[in-house]
Each structure stands twice: as structure tokens, then as C-alpha cells.
Structure 1
Amino acid sequence: MGNSREQLPVELVDATGVGIGTCTVTEAHTAPGRLHRAFSVQLVDPDGRLLLQRRAPVKTRFASRWSNTCCGHPAPGQRVEEAAVGRLAEELGLTATLTEVGSFTYRAADTGSGFVEHEWDHVLLGTLTDGEPAPDPAEVSDYTWLDPAHVHSAMADDPHAYTPWLSSVLRLVTAARH
């Protein structure tokens, strides 16, 4: 279940992305938030549509919001790509080759839960050529394939329906695909 994930270790990083220690997921996300390593996966299909997921209502941070394909935290010392491939399989039952296309840092407070995201986020891009998503309901409540232009206009119309990191993920994905 999702709550056991909250006790897993994450890697704390400094302002340049260098590892400086570890703490639990819960500790990292307790206000004011501690900068830690994370990843965001974005899958596209051969037509260039984006696979978005709606986070499950039981998620402790930004529940029920639409987001990129999947997110997570590598274990301390774990390769980001390895962690991301594992999360993609766990959350959506999918396999894809992932390539890191950049990283960014952000801080966002979830007013609903009081938790804070403060992450050094590695963005990984992959093309899904085979398979259909099989979401884990503890993680994902829904998914959809959308044209990037539609996603950008929908986010502009209703920003609170989307996770606060999605726009930065899509900026890096768009740059990598052009």
C-alpha cells in the first residue's frame, strides 16, 4: 500500500544536485521540505501524444491531480534510470526505454495535505510502442493520451487540476523532442 512507501529512504541533495545524506520520504516532504532527488517519467506514443496519469485520491501529495506518466524517488545510490523503469512497471505495468532529458528543481506546498515537494527532479522521456497501461489503483486513478497542445491549453484553463511540476517536465520534454 502507498503508506509504506512513505518510510522508504530518499537521497538529500545540495543546490548543485550532489548527495549529502538521506531521510525518509515523509521527512523529506514535511514542511518546509528538504531538497531531495526525484524523477519524472514522460511517455509519448509514436504520434507524439503524451501519456498523463491522474494521481490516486489516496496519494499523500497532490492527490487526484493530473500529472506526467509517473514519478518517484530513486533509493540512495540507485541509478535514476533503473528506479524510473521500476516505477513505470509498478504504477502502470509498462516497459519502455527511458532517456534523461534534463533536470530542474522546484518547491511546491500541497495546501490539502500540508506536505511540501522540494525536489531535484530528473526528467526521463520514453516512447511507448507496445502495451497498454494497467494502473495500480493505489497510485493511479485514471490515465489519458493527449496531444501536447491540448495539455498546455488545459493547464492554462485549470492549473489546479494538474501537479505543480508538470509544466517544467513538459518544457524539458518538448525541448528534447524538437
Structure 2
Amino acid sequence: MLSPQMKIHAEPATDDVILVDEENKIIGRAPKFVAHTRGGLLHRAFSVVTVDNQKRVLLQRRASTKASFPSMLSNTCCSHPLASIPSDAEGIAGVKRAACRRYQFELGVPLQHPEDTLSCVWIFRYAATSPVALSVQTSGREEKVDLCEHEIDYVLLHVADSTQVALINDVIKSAAYNKDEVSELLWANTVEIRAHWEEMTPWFRILFDRVLEPWLLDLSACLAEVEDDLAIINLA
């Protein structure tokens, strides 16, 4: 298994993220490492939140080898649409396709028909710094580098049906997820999430506080939102 330092340099150039301005207009691309240093370059991201019919949230604990926010609890799956895949830049539809790819890569669970399976219910801009600095070699010297998130984050809600829940439970039972990315998968209700609040990633705290906890009281109202009318909430 790669150490955090090895892992960050093992990312291929094709993992460039999509850089945007404050209005979410595409202005370029950058390698993932570059975008998460220098205070964080603003880029697109997504956070998938899977819930079941008991209003539990599927959480993941990030692998201890992750370069940023290692071992922290977070939403089901989060990553970035990629600049190397042109269709990923196609607004909400592109973000959904990227999210489905990543979901299967991390969890081993396929999500068919992104447009129907995922609902974009909130978009927000935030910034956060990982509590663990990354050690890198520069000119023969070891330096500590802060890894920073500065993202326009698309929150994608996935209401799992009974078939999907059964598949997810099989993955949990057999620990068949990608262990380079995820160290644990678990279902949690709102009380259990609050009980582990200090272990949660900053972006999940934001989306849970602001929207997810109220949504769980009435998912139908949340899903009635019109995706094209979503404004970007600036919390950076």
C-alpha cells in the first residue's frame, strides 16, 4: 500500500481537475496535487450521499493512506470530475457521470443511469485545510506541505432502493470496497453522526448541518428541487 507521499506522486496526469472562477465558469485545469496546495485552487468537486429507507446515511471512513483528511469519516463518496474526460465538464450531467465512475471505483457498487439515480440537490463553495500536512522532498530536503480544499461542491443525493441496499450490505460484510481509498463503510442515523461529529470531514459537516439533516425529515421535498435553478452557496 502506498504511503501518502508516494500516493500523491502516483496520481497520473490525466487526473487533472477542472479549475473554475467564482461563478463556476471553467478557466483551465491543474494536476490534483497542484490544485490542493498553494492555498487551494478553486475547482469542481462532488459529494455523493447515499441514504436508505430508514433515513440512514452511508458513511465511509477514508483510508489512513489518503494524502488529505486521512482516517476521517465522510459522506459516501467524494472526488472530482476530470479535465481529461470532456463529458465531465458538461454541467450537472457531467458531474453525475464522474460521480458514478468514482462510486464504483471506491465502493465496488455500480450506479446505473446517472441522470435518474443521482439528484443534484445543493451546490456550495467552501475551503478547508487537512489536519495532516504532507511530507515532500524538495531539492533533497523534506518539507511539510498543507493540503487545502477549495471547491465548488455538487451534492448528489442517492436514495438507495432495496436491491442497492442489499448490494451495499454485501460489500460492507465482505469488506469488498477499495481499501486504498476506504477503510470502512457503515450506515449511520443522525444521532450516530452527531456522536462522531469530531471525526467528520469539514465538507460533510457543512452539508449535514446546512441541508442533509433537515432533508432527512422530508426527502420528497428535497428531491422536488429543480436542478437547473440551484444557486451556488458561497461558504469559503
TM-score normalised by L of structure 1:
0.90
Offset, 1:110: 1.2
SS at match of 2:207: helix
Corresponding position: 1:102 with 2:102: no
Offset, 1:127: 1.7
Offset, 1:111: 3.2
Look up the match of 2:48: 41
**AA matched with 1:137:** K
Aligned with 2:149 (options 113, 117, 123)? 117
Post-superposition CA distance 1:59-85 (Å, at most 9, x none): 110000000001010012400000001
SS at match of 1:42: strand
Look up the match of 1:19: 26
- Stretch deviating more after TM superposition (64-73 or 165-174): 165-174
**AA matched with 1:36:** H
Please say if residues 48 and 147 of structure 1, whose CA atoms lie closer than 8 Å, have aligned partners that are also in contact.
yes
Q: Sequence identity, in percent? A: 37
Corresponding position: 1:140 with 2:182: yes
User: When the two structures are aligned, how many residues end up with a matched partner?
Assistant: 174
SS at match of 1:47: coil
Structure 1 residues without counterparts, runs of 5 or longer: none
TM-score normalised by L of structure 2:
0.69
Give the 3 Å change call, closer, same or farther, for CA 26–106 of structure 1 in structure 2: same
Task: Measure, in 1, the Cα distance between the counterparts of 2:56 and 2:23.
Answer: 33
Offset, 1:109: 0.9
Look up the match of 2:107: 92
**AA matched with 2:201:** T
Offset, 1:176: 4.5
Task: Measure, in 1, the Cα distance between the counterparts of 2:27 and 2:215.
Answer: 29
Please say if residues 101 and 176 of structure 1, whose CA atoms lie closer than 8 Å, have aligned partners that are also in contact.
no
Corresponding position: 1:164 with 2:179: no
Task: Measure, in 1, the Cα distance between the counterparts of 2:81 and 2:195.
Answer: 32
Higher helix share: 2
Corresponding position: 1:28 with 2:35: yes
SS at match of 1:165: helix
Offset, 1:98: 1.1
Please say if residues 106 and 165 of structure 1, whose CA atoms lie closer than 8 Å, have aligned partners that are also in contact.
yes
Task: Measure, in 2, the Cα distance between the counterparts of 1:9 and 1:84.
Answer: 15
Task: Measure, in 2, the Cα distance between the counterparts of 1:106 and 1:149.
Answer: 25
Structure 2 residues without counterparts, runs of 5 or longer: 89-93, 112-116, 134-145, 219-236
Aligned with 2:212 (options 146, 170, 173)? 173
**AA matched with 2:99:** A
Task: Measure, in 1, the Cα distance between the counterparts of 2:211 and 2:69.
Answer: 21
**AA matched with 1:136:** N
Task: Measure, in 1, the Cα distance between the counterparts of 2:23 and 2:80.
Answer: 17
SS at match of 1:11: strand
